[in-house]
Every structure is written in structure tokens, then in C-alpha cells.
Amino acid sequence: MNELHLRIEKALSDRVLRDNLDTFYHNYKESHKRAYEGFDFNELKKEVGKIKFLSKEERLKLFEEFKKNVESAGAKVFEAKDSKEACDYIASVCKRHSSEYVVKSKSMTAEEIGLNAYLEKNGIKPVETDLGEWIIQLAKETPSHMIMPAIHKNRKQVAKLFREHLGVEVEDDDIEGMVRIARHYLREFYFKAKVGITGANVAVSETGTIGIITNEGNGRLTTTIPPVHIVVLGYEKLVKNFKEALKIIRVLPKNATGQIISVYVSWIKGAVESLSNPEGKKELHFVFVDNGRKALMGNPYFDEAMKCIRCGSCANVCPSYGVLGGHVFGHIYTGPIGAILTSFYHDDKRAMEILSLCCGCKACSEICPADIELSELIANIYGGLRFKYGLNTVRGSIYTNILARPKTLKGAAKIGSLVLKSVERSSRLRSKLTPKKHDFRVLPLPKSKSFSAVFKERLEPQQKKVDGKGRVFFYPGCAIEYLYPEVGLSMARLLNRVGLSVSIPDRMVCCGFPAVHDGDRAAAKKIIRQNAFYLPKGDDFDYFLVLCPTCGTTVKSLFSQFTLDMPKEYEKIERMEKKIVNFSKLLDELGLTVKTKGDILFTYHIPCHQNRGLHFSGEGFLKKILPRFYVPMRDKDRCCGFGGSFSIDYPEVSKAILDKKIDSIVSTNASVVVTECPGCIMQIRGGIMKRGLPIEVLHLSEFLDRYVELS
């Protein structure tokens, strides 16, 4: 087992971590919603995204303006090429003032450059004053979350740390007591230290003012008591003016922890009065850290990452982070943005590990208040790194040689079906061939007859006779085509019954998402262009139906991107995009009347790409048509842990995520779980079968076909 898998196992067996992350995941979603009451989150997000989306030239111009303004107010500005230069400069300022201690207010940029270790090596004692950061400093760890650095610890562990390191008496349960100890103990150091070090949350160019947010008040003291103040920051913190800065202050605490605003926002301009400085005014330094930022600023593929406001919310909603924590899903920067920043500011290989743990659920892109397409950036950076380390060959060849070719794909499915069936017949062989880690779900076998074959044989001939209420073009995707033909057939029967005709593509290739998620853009391009040939003209149908939201999202958001240089195909796709619907949306638009065939208590799992790709979840529809039988589940839009190849690469992580989903399902007492994604069905049904629970997992089409009468 490699080192990463060992760390994963350690994280997964850490109960404190699991409980803390679980509580936080659930509470965060609720408080985030409350904090934004009265605001349109998507509007704010676009606004902030626009403010922070600057070209390299614009950003450097803001820097020059900022520099000029602070220098004229008595501050010094230093540009550090890398961590070493930044640390050297800071240490030399500390030495000049013979500062034995320095107090620090939490700064991710200081973490990034490894400042504490560097200062210690130079005989200077840094004291973290943010409680969480101080706790992990005592524990000699790195933050596991950007905003809540000690989220992985519980009160008992903190009490023990305090007893051991400070020699104080404190009960395991006494959080207030621990906070009092911190207040008393740290107060000394503000007055002992000659230098205070902080980061900045925003840097306003028009005046040269920085804004620092804290809840504890440690930022205000760190910047007030010592005679010297050093600010460590990156160019991404620069904004033009206060209007923009205030918009960022509006979203930052809300997104970070669901708090409306932080208790303190300290706005500092220049060298203010200082009682402890013999010159009567503060000595103020700004250390701007490059460390790869200038390259990132000019990179048209990835400069979006510079929009990040360091709220940490992408970690809050990430299913992998939610079971692993930031010491596995992160390096120094944690969570999804951490995966990206690590690849720019730190080690490549470490970055690749984190990137590979992305399950592609898009929750990060949805929550990001700066409108960063995190999910896409992660896939693309991962693709580049896989290429660099020669890991693309096997999967890449599967993508281009099998998934993009109709006949080969069909053949491969057939062979797969035969092999797996013979394995399945012998349970001994099956258990021998399935490593224990992978045996957490019962997987379906490919069917010997594909959906298209059955449809063409049994249903296609009668489509002309169907009452002409509308023409539906159905895009099956691999899962319905080879694993769950019955899901597609249920749908076709239902639609025929209410007067809609169904047609399918002549030939079937994969939608390309597996390649997209792996960042293999070349393979994705090939598959998608192949698709473009096989799709009908936009005028030939009224609805473009998908029963797999991942296929739907890929068609909707990526097909046009990869066919820009194919005028006819591009036009076809452009027209088609507007007609893409999932099943619940189509039925909702048809406005059918519904009757259940008896009492059936059901719940609904929202597939990731349903909400975050197609922007329509069946939940509202089902609640509307079957209000008496629907029970909502806790964290209904939390990923099931499938993530395609993710669940094969990291079965233990996939299982941990799935376990949470199944626990939520069980606590609803429903006997049926309805969802609208074959991937989710594979995962949830497989897990439920493995646990031997009497719960059915059905696609919406099967559920309606079986339990409901539509007219």
C-alpha cells in the first residue's frame, strides 16, 4: 500500500475527525443559506467573480498604485520572488528589532511560505494568536481547514495539549476555561513581541488600505501593540476600490462559516501612531509573495484561480474533504482550491494526489463566492500532471480507442458481460477477483442485449403510431445502454402512454465525461466530435432527453466548446442545447395528472450533476405530485461517492461517502429511494444490497412505471 493510501486509512479511522467534519458539513449548509437571506447568492457570486477577474497587466497596475500609496504613507514594500526571499526579509526585520517573540494573526500566505519554521530556525519565536492556529502550533501540525485550522481536534485533545504544553489545569470538557487560558496566556505576548505579522484579506489600491478580518480580535491587537507590523500577502488580494473591497467583505464570512460579517474588520492605511515605537509611529512592511503567482496571473487556462478570496467554502461542501479532512485532501492550502494552489505554489506530486481525490461532483464550483469553475480547473490541471508523469496512456487509450468507437464500445461491453457473468457464476472466483476494499457494493453486470437493440426491436416500430403530442430524442449514454436498459425502456413506455414519441441515436458512443474528468482533453475532444456526427438535427425533435445528468451536463456545457471549428456540427449542437431536459423536468413541463398505485413511502437523492449541471432537480416535482408519500432526506444533494473511476481508484473513500448517504436514507424510513442518475443507482443500490437492507433504489422512470399512474 502506498503512503497516500495509508494516510487515507488513518483519516478514515479517526472518529474525532469524522464527527467534527460531519457536524460541520450539515450545519454549514443551513447557516450558509440563512446568512444569504435577502440576497441573490448567484448574483453576488458573479459580481465578486467579475471584481476579481483581472488580467496580469491590470493586477500589476493595481500593485503599483497600492505601492505608491502605502510608500507615501511611510510603509515599505518588498516583492519576494519565492518563499525563501519572503522569509529572509521578514526574519531580517525581526532581527533588526531583536524581537525574541513575534505575534502572528492567522495568515495562509505565511503558512504557504513556511514562515514559522524559518523564524524558529533563526532563533525567533513566532506565537500564533488565533486560537485554532495556536492549537495546531502547539500540536506541531498544519491547518486542516483555511478558516478553522483545528477543525480536526476535539475539546479533549485541546485540553490535553494545554495541560502538556502550558502546565495548566483544565478539565476535558471546559471549552470556556480553555478560551480563558488562551486569553490570559497570549495577552502577554502582544506586549513582549516587537513585531506583529498578519496577512490581508483585501488590499485596496485607490488608497493603499488593507482590510483584515478576525472574530477573536487578535488581528486588531497584533496590528496595534507591537512597534512593527509586517503584512504578508499575495497579489490576488488587490482590488481597485472600497466598493469592491466591501463586496468581498460581504461574502467572505458568509461563505466561510455562514456568519453575516466577522466581528472585526480592521482597515489599516500606512504607518499609524505607535506608543511602543521610539519614533512614535509604526514601522510597516508589506511583503508581496510571488511564489508562482505571476506565472499563474498570465496563464489563460488557470488564472481564474487568482479570483479566490480564501473563504475555504469549497472544502466545506466537498464530499472527499468531508471524510478525509485537510491533512489528506490538502497540503498547506486545503480543499478543492488547495488542490489547485498546491500545484502552483508547492509540490507537483503532492498536488496530483489531492487532485486525484476529486470525485467530480461540482459542489465546489457551485459554492465558490468568486465564481471559480474549480471542478473544471481541477480536471484540467490533473490532466496536465498525468501527462507529465506518463499516467495518461492506459486510460487515454481506453477513451480514444474504445469509448469513441461505436462498434468497439459495443464489442467491449459484450466481452465484459461474458467475462463478468462467468466470474459471477462462481462465487469463489468472484471473491478472489474482487479485492476486499472494492467489495463494498454489489455491481450490476452488463446486459447481453443493449438498450438500443431492445428498443429498436420492440418499441421503435410503434413510434409512428404514437399520438403526436411531442417528439423526444433520447440520448442513452453508456450506463443505460449497457447496464440499465430497463430504465430507458420504462421511460419510453411511459412517454408513449402519454402521447410522446421517442427516437434514439443510430450509433452510440460515450458522452466523453470520463475523459473530461480525467483532464484528458485530447481524448474528450475526439469522443465529443464523434458524438456530434451521430446526433440528429435540432429541428428533428422537441426535447433532448437524458436519464443520466452527467451525460446531460457534458452535452450542455462541453459539446459546443469542442466543436467550435466544425460549423455545421456546432450549429446543430447550439440548437440542441436549449432542448436538453432530464426526466423530471420533461414530466413537469407536460403537467400530467398522477395517481399512486397504493401507499409507498419514498425519498429522493439529488444527483450532483442534476442540480449543478442541468439546474433542475426532480425533488420539487415529486414533492408536488406526491406530497403525501415523499420524505426528504438529510443532506439530499450530498454526493453518493460514485464519481466513476474515482470509486475504483479510491474505493475506501467512495465507501465512506456512500455510508453517509445510506445512513441518511435509512433514517427516512422510506422503502424506496428515487434518483435520476444511473451512476448514483449503481453506487447506492450496490451499497444497500451489500448491507442487505430492504430498500429499493430506482430511477425516476422505473419508479413512475412501477408505482404511479400517469395520464
Partner 1 sequence: MKRRVEKFLEMSKLVGNNNVVVDMAGFMSVLDEKGDSFDFIKLNSIDGFDRVCSVGKKGIKRALVEADYAIAETGTVVVESSNENFRRATSLSDELFLVIRSSRVLNKLEEIANYMKEHTKKESYISFITGASRTADIEMSLTLGVHGPRDMTIFLIEEEQV
Binding site for partner 1 (CB under 8 A): 20, 23-24, 27, 73-74, 129-132, 135, 148-151, 153-155, 158, 175-176, 178-179, 182-183, 186-188, 190-191, 204, 206-209, 215-218, 220-221, 223-225, 241-243, 246-247, 249-250, 257, 260-275, 281
CB-count exposure of residue 691 (10 Å: 0-12, 13-18, 19+): middle
Residue 112 CB, shortest distance to partner 1, in Å, is 21
In whole angstroms, the minimum distance from the beta carbon of 209 to partner 1 comes to: 4
Least spacing, CB of residue 38 vs partner 1, in Å? 9
For 537, other C-beta atoms within 10 Å of its C-beta total 12
Whole-angstrom CA distances from 109 to 23, 173, 187 are 28, 33, 24
What's at 224, amino acid-wise?
T
Whole-number minimum distance, CB 47 to partner 1, in Å? 11
User: How many CB atoms are closer than 10 A to CB 280?
Assistant: 11
Hey, how many other C-beta atoms are within 10 angstroms of the C-beta on 192? 16
> Smallest gap, in angstroms, from Cβ of residue 311 to partner 1?
15
Helices (H) and strands (E) in the chain, counts: 36, 19
Which CB sits closer to partner 1, 192 or 395?
A: 192
Q: Decide if 548 contacts 679 (C-beta within 8 A).
A: yes
From the CB of 240, what's the least distance to partner 1, in Å? Answer: 11
Give 8 or 256: the residue with its C-beta nearer to partner 1.
256
Residues 6+ apart with CB under 8 A from 121: none
Give the span between the Cα atoms of 547 and 386, in whole angstroms. 31
Q: Phi, psi (5° rounding) for residue 376?
A: -70, -40
103/332 with CB nearer partner 1: 103
Minimum CB distance to partner 1, residue 176 (Å)? 6
Cα 14 to chain centroid distance, Å, stands at: 22
CA dist 184 and 182 (Å) reads 5
Which residues are paired to 708 by β-bridges? 596
- SS3 label, residue 135: helix
For partner 1, the closer CB: 268 or 305: 268
Least Cβ distance, residue 180 to partner 1 (angstroms): 8
Assign residue 512 a region (left: φ > 0; alpha: ψ between -120 and 50; beta: otherwise): left
Q: What is the C-alpha separation between 706 and 711, in angstroms, rounded?
A: 14
Q: How far apart are CA 275 and CA 320, in angstroms?
A: 49
CB of 190 to partner 1, least distance (A): 8
Instruction: Output 158 or 546, the one with its CB closest to partner 1.
Output: 158
Is the distance from CB of 203 to CB of 80 less than 8 angstroms?
no
Beta bridge mates, 334: 330
Cα 542 to its chain centre, rounded Å, is 34
Cell digits for 174? 471546559
Residue number, 241 or 422, with CB nearest to partner 1: 241
For partner 1, the closer CB: 206 or 571: 206
Cα distances (Å, whole numbers) of residue 164 to 157, 167, 396, 425, 654: 11, 6, 53, 59, 37
Bridge partner residues of 285 (DSSP): 76, 230
Ranges of beta strands (E only) in 129-247 are 195-198, 202-204, 209-214, 228-234, 238-239
Q: Could you tell me the smallest distance in angstroms from the CB atom of residue 206 to partner 1? A: 7
DSSP one-letter code for 633: P
Distance, in Å, from the CA atom of 30 to the CA atom of 708, rounded to the nearest integer, reads 33
Q: Which is nearer to partner 1, 50 or 471 (CB)?
A: 50
User: Of the two residues 275 and 394, which places its CB atom closer to partner 1 in the complex?
Assistant: 275
Find the shortest distance in angstroms from Cβ 231 to partner 1.
13
Q: Output the smallest distance, CB 656 to partner 1, in A.
A: 21
Query: Which residue, 247 or 660, is less far from partner 1 as judged by CB?
Result: 247
Helix, strand or coil for residue 371?
coil
Give the number of other CB atoms < 10 A from CB of residue 60.
16
Quote the CA–CA distance of 25 and 387 in Å, as a whole number.
Answer: 34
Measured from the CB atom, is 254 or 685 closer to partner 1?
254
Closest to partner 1 by CB, 270 or 644: 270
Considering beta carbons, is residue 281 or 350 the nearer one to partner 1? 281
Q: Which is nearer to partner 1, 268 or 528 (CB)?
A: 268
Cβ of residue 318: shortest distance to partner 1, in angstroms? 18
**Minimum gap (Å) between residue 196 Cβ and partner 1:** 13
Quick count: other Cβ atoms within 10 Å of Cβ 416? 13
* Radius of gyration in angstroms for the set of CA atoms belonging to the chain, rounded to a whole number: 28
